[in-house]
Amino acid sequence: QVEELEVNCAGFGIELLGLTHRQRGIVHIIGPELGLTQPGMTVVCGDSHTSTHGAFGALAFGIGTTEVGHVLATQCLLQRRPRTLAVNVTGAPRAGVTAKDLILAIIGRLGVGGGTGHVIEYRGDAIRALDMDERMTVCNMSIEAGARAGMVIPIGEAIPERPGDAAFARALAYMGLAPGEPIRDRKVNVVFIGSCTNARLSDLRSAAGVLRGRRIAPGLRMLVVPGSQQVKRQAEAEGLDRVFLEAGAEWRESGCSMCLGMNGDVVGRGEYCVSTSNRNFEGRQGSGARTLLASPLTAAACAVRGRVTDPRELM
């Protein structure tokens, strides 16, 4: 696939930030890094988490491969007008509460299908207080509420009943949980910090702040994967790589890594992984893997304690 991509880009005169390019990385991180994402743009890409770019006031959404070819050829795309949904978030977060926690709470309120067919606009003083990295995390995960896209204008509820069907029981069985059982203090086998949701420099800084001077729990594996080469170089210039390595984590090349089980970075069957990625689908991180989504702060705290932990206990 990589070789075919290189041939096609060369043949059609498309600039490619390939495997050896110093600015390569996850598209949803390097696009904003390079200033390619701008307010008012319509941004499309062959990946559902294109919604990340909505943090900059762009209308950004994922499309299929056939549509990608059509856009490259015509710069046009025929779409039905989506419905709109405003999510208003007020107040100020307490210490240890991050943008990842915020969007997970929103998804918990809306449900995984609550935003289906909609573009979500995030509003309110709590949203306006987020920096751009944090807004990118929020918009990235709009898709996990079923939305077509999510966005924040740059100037600046119903809680579903607990389902009682067989699918809910099956999901609990897969995760090794009982109804109403808390996940706090559950043993963790793997911690993954990375993905297009939380692999930016600010994410690595926050995780390093928890790990500095500490060691990860015995027997636990921790992967830290920057979202781009630019993030990796800056993190190394700040000494963040040494913090992770001295804590016992693996410091990796930029890329998607353990976000999805399509490479060698997978979670073992029945193991629990606290992950800063965006999806905890069955088998997402490997056959039988059990994924618990969290912020970089929470993930780092879990790595130190070896169990699901409130990061405020270490702050």
Domain ranges of the chain: 1-74, 83-145, 158-313
What is the per-residue pLDDT across 113-127, written as a single tens digit (0 to 9) for each? 999 999 999 999 999
Q: Is the pLDDT of residue 157 over 60?
A: no
Token pair for residue 124?
């309110």
Read off the pLDDT of each residue in 187-214 and give the average, rounded to a whole number: 98
pLDDT of residue 169: 86
pTM of the model: 0.76
Mean pLDDT of 151-171: 67
Which element (helix H / strand E) includes 268?
A: none
Q: Which residues contact 313 (CB under 8 A, 6 or more apart)?
A: 301, 305
Q: What average pLDDT score do residues 155-183 get? A: 74
- Whether the per-residue pLDDT at 159 is higher than 60: the answer is no
Instruction: From 218, 217, 201, 220, select the one nearest 209 (Cα to Cα).
Output: 201
- Asked whether 265 and 190 are in contact (CB, 8 A), the reply is no
Q: Mean pLDDT over residues 214-225, rounded?
A: 98
The arithmetic mean of pLDDT across residues 19-43, rounded, is 93
Contacts of range 179-184, beta carbons closer than 8 Å, 24 or more positions apart? 183/292, 183/308, 184/308, 184/309, 184/310
**Residue range 32-55: mean pLDDT, rounded:** 94
pLDDT at 156: 53
Token pair belonging to 12:
């059609």
The architecture in CATH of the region 158-313 reads 2-Layer Sandwich (3.30)
Percent of the chain with pLDDT over 70: 97
Q: What is the pLDDT of residue 162?
A: 53
pLDDT recorded at residue 45:
96
Give the domain 83-145 fold: Aconitase; Domain 2 (3.40.1060)
Say yes or no to pLDDT of 230 above 60: yes
Q: How far apart, in whole angstroms, are the C-alpha atoms of residue 260 and residue 262?
A: 6
User: How large is the average pLDDT for residues 217-244?
Assistant: 98
% of the chain residues with pLDDT over 90: 86
Q: Does 158-313 match 83-145 at the fold level?
A: no
Q: Is 11 helix (H, G, I), strand (E, B) or coil?
A: helix
What is the average per-residue pLDDT within 37-44?
A: 94
**CB burial readout 105-142, b (16+ within 10 A) else e:** ebbeebbeebbeebbbbbbeebbeebeebbbbbbbbbb
